[in-house]
């Protein structure tokens, strides 16, 4: 076990850095730039039962220290992911991958999780009940404890692989939703997805994004994410993955002190495709600077005393 290794729901990661879903494709695209096996793992593009074209454009708006997206879960559908995307990934990534799953009904989630859970390369299922960009699915399941628990129960019944539920920050009490998911069988919680936001174009005087609103992410949201990770980590007894504006090794360490076992890097990958690799590379010297021997020992450290 190295200084950076952590155990995420029974699977050893060589380091806690995980590119977040929607910012790293199906991985092989980034493997053209560097050896992606340096990462702990990564969470692949949110996958649904059927292929999706996504939302109308424009789907992206720039903001100070962040961005808004309204992609709308564009993806080729679970069958194409299994027959076309995962075989390409297998050629360049020799670690378990995290499969990110979205749905529009409880049955959708279960169907897609059952199929992806049967794939040998899939280590964890990250179940996204927090996409703010679709109607009748995504975030509507993650803003209500009973609905989030129902999805969790359904996916729990179709796979033995670890289930990680990805939560929305667009709620007043994220702890009650996290607890409901854990009580329903979740092996881990990841948070936060994007914050609902919007921009208006002063020239057209209309919303920049065709769908009017979208999910705000990037460095600006880091303190909100950190606060929610801290709250959830102190309330549940399963691993928590922290994400939201993470863009440096210092941010990874801060998230772990708040209680994260592993840390996802999102928007930063879109600005700099080498960001996740560079964060991994700078972790040890950053630990040395702060007198940290190994990362496992600091998880939840900010809760002590």
Of residues 41, 47, 152, 194, which one binds ligand SIN by CB under 6 A? 194
Q: What is the spatial order of strands in the sheet that 60-63 belongs to? A: 60-63, 66-69, 214-217, 195-197
Classify residue 78 as left (phi > 0), alpha (psi -120 to 50) or beta: alpha
Q: Six-digit token pair at 259?
A: 């209680």
Give me 242's structure tokens.
């922290």
Which of 4, 39, 125, 131 is in the footprint of ligand SIN by CB under 6 A? 131
Q: Is 269 among the residues that bind ligand SIN (CB under 6 A)?
A: no
d(CA 20, CA 36): 14
**Least Cβ distance, residue 128 to ligand SIN (angstroms):** 5
- The piece of 78-86, 128-136, 204-212, 253-261 that touches ligand SIN (CB under 6 A) is 128-136
Give Cα 143 to chain centroid, integer Å. Answer: 17
Q: Is 131 a catalytic residue?
A: yes
Q: Closer CB to ligand SIN, residue 209 or residue 233?
A: 209
Kindly state the number of chain residues that form the binding site for ligand SIN, as judged by CB under 6 A: 14
Pairing of strands 6-8, 214-217: unpaired
For the CB of residue 130, give the shortest distance to ligand SIN in the complex, in Å: 6
Which of 9, 38, 113, 131 is catalytic? The answer is 131
Residues 4-23 that bind ligand SIN (CB under 6 A): 22
Residue number with CB closer to ligand SIN (207 or 280): 207
- Pick the binder of ligand SIN from 6, 8, 9, 73 (CB under 6 A): 73
8 A C-beta contact, residue 13 and residue 6: yes
By the rule CB under 6 A, 142 interacts with ligand SIN:
no
Any contact of residue 219 with ligand SIN (CB under 6 A)?
A: no
Q: Are 63 and 215 in contact (CB under 8 A)?
A: no
- Smallest gap, in angstroms, from Cβ of residue 267 to ligand SIN? 11
* Interacting residue with ligand SIN among 15, 143, 152, 193 (CB under 6 A): 193
Nearer to ligand SIN, 124 or 283 (CB): 124
Binding of ligand SIN by 103 (CB under 6 A): no
CA 125 – CA 163 distance, rounded (Å): 5
Regarding 247 and contact with ligand SIN (CB under 6 A), the answer is no
- Contact residue for ligand SIN among 41, 48, 112, 128 (CB under 6 A): 128
Work out whether 248 is an interface residue with ligand SIN (CB under 6 A): no
For residue 42, what are the contacts with CB-CB under 8 A and spacing of at least 6? 18, 19, 24, 27, 36, 97, 98, 276
C-alpha 20/C-alpha 22 separation (Å) is 6
DSSP string computed for 211-249: TS-EEEESGGGHHHHHHHHHHHHTT-SS-EEEESS--SH
Q: CA–CA separation, 68 vs 52, rounded Å?
A: 20
CA dihedral 114, 123, 43, 36 (to 10 degrees): -140
The nearer residue to ligand SIN, 130 or 152, going by C-beta atoms, is 130
Q: Binders of ligand SIN among 32-71, rule CB under 6 A?
A: 46, 69-71
Q: Which residues are marked as active site?
A: 131
Instruction: List interacting residues with ligand SIN (CB under 6 A).
Output: 22, 46, 69-73, 128, 130-131, 133, 193-194, 215
């Amino acid at each position: 076990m190295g200084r950076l290794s952590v155990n995420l729901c029974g699977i050893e990661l060589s380091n806690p850095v995980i590119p977040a879903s929607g910012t790293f494709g199906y991985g092989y695209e980034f493997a053209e730039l560097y050896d992606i096996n340096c990462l702990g793992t990564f969470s692949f593009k949110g996958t649904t039962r059927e292929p999706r074209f996504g939302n109308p454009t424009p789907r992206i708006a720039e903001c100070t220290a962040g961005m808004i997206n309204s992609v709308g879960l564009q993806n080729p559908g679970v069958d194409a992911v299994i027959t076309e995307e995962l075989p390409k990934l297998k050629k360049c990534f020799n670690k378990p991958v995290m499969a990110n799953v979205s749905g529009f009904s409880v049955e959708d989630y279960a169907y897609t999780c059952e199929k992806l859970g049967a794939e040998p390369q899939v280590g964890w299922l990250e179940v996204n009940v927090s996409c703010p960009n679709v109607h009748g699915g995504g975030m509507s399941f993650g803003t209500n404890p009973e609905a989030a628990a129902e999805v969790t129960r359904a996916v729990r019944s179709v796979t033995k692989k670890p289930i990680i539920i990805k939560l929305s920050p667009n709620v007043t009490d994220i702890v009650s939703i996290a607890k409901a998911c854990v009580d329903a069988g979740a092996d881990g919680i990841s948070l936060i997805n994007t914050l609902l936001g919007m921009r208006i174009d002063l020239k057209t005087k209309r919303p920049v994004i065709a769908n009017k609103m979208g999910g705000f992410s990037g460095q600006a949201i880091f303190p909100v994410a950190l606060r929610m990770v801290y709250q959830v980590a102190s309330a549940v007894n399963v691993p928590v993955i922290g994400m939201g504006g993470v863009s440096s090794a210092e941010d990874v360490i801060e998230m772990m002190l708040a209680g994260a076992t592993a840390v996802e890097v999102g928007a930063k990958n879109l600005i700099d495709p080498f960001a996740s690799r560079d964060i991994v590379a700078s972790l040890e010297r950053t630990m040395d600077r702060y007198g940290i021997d190994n990362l496992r020992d600091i998880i939840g450290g900010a809760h002590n005393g």
